[in-house]
Structure 1
Amino acid sequence: MNNLKIIECPRDAMQGLSDFIPTDKKVEYLDKLLQVGFDTLDFGSFVSPKAVPQMKDTANIVSKLDLSNSKTKLLAIIANLRGAKEASSFEQIQYLGYPMSISETFQQKNTNMSIVDSLGELVGIGEICQQQGKGLVVYISMAFGNPYGDQYNAKIVTQFADVLATLGASVSSLADTVGIATPNEIKDLFIAVKEMSDKVEWGVHLHATDENANAKIEAALAAGCKRIDGAILGFGGCPMADNKLVGNINTRKILEIANKQNLSTGLDINTFNEAELMASSIFNG
């Protein structure tokens, strides 16, 4: 049986909420997720609290998590060298995640840096990860196009993928940031980047509507993808998308398709169901 890594992204689900979720409530939810069996938990971020106030307690959360009986790895999102230094100081965190856009406009909006400056920042982040024994996950944002009119084609993405491999990225994910990718585009681009750089573990972080999520998941799997990001109940919108119904892929959909295709995920379904109930309570107030 082939394996599929499911990356659960509660950080992505929580960060857009205007009402602050109490730290202890976050810890309770994250502790439950740690028992489900996910490969990796994208649990928080070390970014400016002004930019993402919901994640201002990430450092406090790390020390409160119960990691004693979990094999799930922790991933924290960073936006610059300062965040990388802070996140890498925690022994419990195995991965640092860095969003890198091929859209100049979005990169400026997301990190207040140009693409060129961000690549320079990434060199330093890669060095920190190497020194501290952390894995570096780079998300290629706007990998399937952008709403700003910035130049885009698949060749730009594959060239970008080649550069990332030389900068120390151990994992890279194609991010459908505004949910515009078609299944064929997902399949073709994933195959192309994987062929361009087979030293990097490739994954996808897709946004979708409830109606087209399954087709996108199936396209990624058909391309040979073995690493997919999701969020329980599909929580976490995409603020840059025109369609408010576009959001994270519902993790249950990934799990159901994986089961149909006889892919092993390592998830405990009973604990997953419990986490789903907890998520419904947290995100629906």
Structure 2
Amino acid sequence: MDLPDRVRVREVGPRDGFQNEPEAIPTPDKIRLIDALARTGLRRVEVGSFVRADVIPQLADGAEVLAGISIPDGVDVAVLVPNQRGWEAALPHKERFDEVIVFLSASETHNQKNINRPIADSLKTVEALLPQIAEAGLRPLASIATSFGCPYEGHVDPERVIELARAMAAAGAREISFGDTTGMANPRQVRAFYERALDELPDVELTAHFHNTRGQGLANALAALEAGVTSFESSFGELGGCPVPPGSTGNIATEDLISMLHEMGVDTGVDLAALLEASRDVQRVLGRPLGSHLLTAGPVQWHDA
């Protein structure tokens, strides 16, 4: 395999993971966990979103979390905004983060169920927000959910996904994440998609975001890696999922991804032991076993014959 020497990983658990928990995690616990993650060697952490508290009450303390965290130099902090109102709520806190993520779905039904809007309206919002984010001195990011399949519509045409990505790039997105939101992708599909996307979108950083709903998350990550992807998103402990539909379980676990990459000689800059301690901590906070394989089995221990 012709693999890159190094990849970048964005930890999304404090946003994508925490928002899917049935109860809100106490703000001091969130701050402690984020501070720990930011000291594992990860250089990108998504810490929250500016959404209506009645829609996602688990993230209603976003401003308090931003004010309380202590992030080392060299670690980029990201927040997600769903619309103009969210961006205006985030803007007064812009000194506390570096990147802003806007998003939409590649399938009409999922976009309607997720944010109650047609894709065309969401794209107009995204195209309006991306220049504003750049003008504020922040890095504009975009994310496309259901890029590899929709639980309501089934197959999602890769051409539709590429067209949306082109529009986002033209509007100023510096990075685009393609999400397998409900774990419908397979490795052959993933490799073909990223080979095409990397060829057709050469001036944008392309990121892979996989869920382990059907157990293919790491296999899909490997397929993306083989296609040339060097940017990934994952969630410590395998936290996360999708609010719609039921049964959409978490992202691939950051520690599982990091372990696999290190075993293959791909550098991430992450201290796996420190990352595992953060995952054990969030498991204690939640009071239930999490899906991460390394939390159960631990890292591979090699012994001399």
TM-score (normalised: structure 2): 0.88
Contact 2:183–2:214 under 8 Å retained in 1: no
**CA distance in 1: counterparts of 2:54 and 2:88, whole angstroms:** 19
Corresponding residue for 1:86? Answer: 89
Identity across aligned pairs (percent)?
27
Cα gap change, 1:210 to 1:256, in 2 (>3 Å): farther
Match among 159, 174, 198 for residue 155 of structure 1? 159
Match among 4, 17, 20 for residue 7 of structure 2? 4
CA RMSD in angstroms, aligned pairs only:
1.8
Deviation per CA, 1:79-134: give whole Å up to 9, x if none.
Answer: 00111222233212111111211111221222222211111111221121121011
Match among 130, 136, 147 for residue 126 of structure 1? 130
Q: Which moved more, 1:204-213 or 1:111-120?
A: 204-213
Match among 273, 277, 282 for residue 280 of structure 2? 277
Contact 1:207–1:238 under 8 Å retained in 2: no
**CA distance in 2: counterparts of 1:150 and 1:280, whole angstroms:** 33
Q: Displacement of 1:78 after TM fit? A: 0.9
Structure 2: gaps of 5 or more residues:
289-305
**CA distance in 2: counterparts of 1:260 and 1:100, whole angstroms:** 34
Structure 1: gaps of 5 or more residues:
none
Deviation per CA, 1:207-257: give whole Å up to 9, x if none.
Answer: 11474222112111111111111111211133335545x321011221112
Corresponding residue for 2:264? Answer: 261
Corresponding residue for 2:230? Answer: 226
The answer as to 2:20 corresponding to 1:16 is yes
Contact 2:18–2:240 under 8 Å retained in 1: yes
The answer as to 2:69 corresponding to 1:65 is yes
Corresponding residue for 2:200? Answer: 196
Q: Displacement of 1:14 after TM fit? A: 0.8
The one-letter code sitting in structure 1 at the alignment partner of 2:69 is L
Contact 1:208–1:247 under 8 Å retained in 2: yes
The answer as to 2:58 corresponding to 1:54 is yes
